[in-house]
Structure formats: C-alpha cells, structure tokens
Homo-oligomer: A and B are copies of this chain.
Amino acid sequence: MYALTLNHRVGASGMSSKSESPPSGSAERRSPTQADIARAARVSTATVSRVLNHSPLVREEVRGRVEQAMARLGYFPHGAARALASNRSFTIGAILPTLNNAIFANGINAFEAILARSRYTLLLAVSHYNARTEATLVRRLLERGIDGLMLVGNDHSRKTYESLRRAAKPYVNTWAFDPARGHANIGFSNRVAIAQVVDHLVGLGHRRIGMLAGITAGNDRARERLEGVRERLAAHGLALAEGATVEIPYSVRAARRTLAEMIEQDALPSAMVCGNDVIALGVLFEALDRGIRVPEDLSVTGFDDLPIVEHVRPALTTVQVPARRMGDAAAQALVEACEKGVPVRSLELEATLLLRATTAPPATP
C-alpha cells in the first residue's frame, strides 16, 4: 500500500536523508502539493493533475476522492509550476500609453472583465507614449510568460514586434484599424472617424478650421486624426487654418494655454477640432472663461466621449469611441487564440459622431 503513496520526488531521490517527506503531524506548514493530494486520495499525481485540468478520462468516483482531498487539505495549484510544465500561464498582458486620463479606462475595464471571466489574469504595464519603454515592457511581460498581449495602436518599435514574433505569442493592436500595416487590428479607423467631424463642420458652413492635435510622433492614432482632417478638408477644397493648428499633449492645461495664445494673437478659427476630449475640455473652459461664446463664436469638437463631456455646458460634440467593445473583442480574440490556437483576426468597429451643443454655424461666415 505504501508503494502507492510514494511521490516521485522521494522515489527519484532514493533515501537522501534530508529530503524525505515531512514527518506527518509536524509543525511544518508548507502548502500542500499534488503529491500530498495524491497520497491522501490514494491516486497518482498524474490523476490529480487530470482532475485539476478537467480531463474527461478520470472515473467519477476517483474524481470525487481527489476533489475531497483537495478541499480537505486546502490545496491550490502552483501557477509557476504549471506554467513551467505546460508552457501556459493563463496570464495576458496589456500595455497602455497612459493611465492618466480616462481615455483607456473603459477599454481596459472591459478587457479585464472578459479575462477574469475566462480565468485569465491581466498583466498591465504603461509605456508613457514611449516606444523604447514599451519594447522593454513587452520583453518583460514575455519573460513573465504571458500567453497573449494587447497593444494600443500600430506604431511600435521593431524590437517590440520582433520579440513578439520570436516568442510566437498572439497579440492584437487596438484603437486603430489599418490592417494593411500587417498586424491584427481590433478597433476603428481614426481617419474615417475624424472625417465625420470635418464633414459636419464644413456642412455647418465653417471655412476657417483649426486643430489642436495630440502629439503625433510615435502615435498613429493622433497622426491619423490630424492627417484625416487635412485629407478631408482638402476634399472640400479647404486647408487647416495656419496658426490655429498645433500638436499638444493630452492635457487640459496645455489646451487652455494654447487657446489663450491663439486668442492673444487673434488667430482663432471659427471651429476647433480637438485631438481628444481632454483637449476639447481645455478649449471649452478657456473660451468660456474669456467670454468667447461656444458655439456662437467658436465651435469645438472632441474625441473619445469621456463620461463627463455630455454633462458639461454646453455639452461637447464629440466622437464616441467603441472602447468597451474594443476591450471585449480584444480579450475574446486573445483568449480564443490561446485556447484554440486560432490566429487573432482583425475586426473593424465604428466610431460615431455625437452631435451635441458645442458646434453651430459660424457667426461670421
């Protein structure tokens, strides 16, 4: 009978004096391993493993015994050991450019929810819009054994893509849709999205249109939005207003300062397209504080539809981004890629222009 209860460690190492199984009833409190469960349930560790992994080839009666033993001994599996043996960690990574404003909150929230439901854990890292930092983080996450990775946008360093390729882990680029660049995309076309804004503004009669874009270096979303405005304006025979088009960080303060300068230089356009809602709020607040009427004197548009912007007065006209759906779909795609080995497929979602109260025909056409 005792032959059955020997675990392979003891069996393998023979009678080495220090590594025998701990004396039963000792004060030693190491947490129970599969070997302990195996002994208690009078099965092999292989069977314990099968029960743990819901293998169909375990007799009901045996499964019951094992599960009871697990419960009684308070067993819980050792992730690192599982990962080492199976080459899967049930862990998925995500790298966001920032956590500072609420832009990615909804998306990552949805992403985490799906992962948690699928018993995966999220490894989160922040690149601060820096591709080199990101490459380091990707490598670190890969070292930690992530089974898949979510990235934002398509602009990533060669090293990042190279690490991913060598590790042969599934990944997906979100918040963009430009599969021509050769990566799985779950997101929307920033270019198409911003074109709706331009059409709206031009349709309203605006001719002098400026833009407070995000910093475009290393940020394809910001770049696509800026280029999208240029392109669409050109289609209407227009161009971005000189002196009213600048790249700035995504901060209320930067936006306020920039608008203030434009006002002082008398360079204000009749409509200001903003790279995101944070910038738009800055423009809105600064304009209001200076007695510039919105939308009568200045139309303002945002991008993201942060939860707050429908409540400010005047309510912000903006582009609603499918953040939740991107998070959902990205997580689902990654989990599926891990479980079934299918490749991640690109998915185009739509961003919707939300007409609210910060846009109107120009007062002085």
Contacts and interface: CB of A to CB of B under 8 A. Distances in A.
A292 interface: no
A174 interface: no
A96 to B, nearest CB: 10
Copies held by the complex:
2
Interface residues of A, number: 54
Interface stretch (A59-67, A133-141, A149-157, A349-357): A133-141
Nearest to A312: B312
Contact of A124 (B74, B124, B141, B288): B124
A27 interface: no
Interface in A125-144: 125-126, 137, 139-144
A166 B78 contact: no
Candidate in A80, A142, A285, A308 with the most chain B CB atoms within 10 angstroms: A80
A99 B79 contact: no
Interface in A97-151: 98-102, 105-106, 108-109, 112-113, 116, 119, 121-126, 137, 139-145
Interface of A: 31, 74, 76-81, 83-84, 89-91, 98-102, 105-106, 108-109, 112-113, 116, 119, 121-126, 137, 139-145, 166-167, 252, 256, 281-282, 285, 288-289, 307-308, 311-313
26 contacts: A31-B166, A78-B84, A79-B144, A80-B80, A80-B89, A80-B145, A83-B83, A98-B109, A99-B106, A99-B112, A100-B109, A102-B102, A112-B125, A116-B125, A121-B123, A121-B125, A122-B124, A122-B125, A123-B123, A252-B307, A252-B311, A282-B311, A285-B311, A285-B312, A285-B313, A308-B308
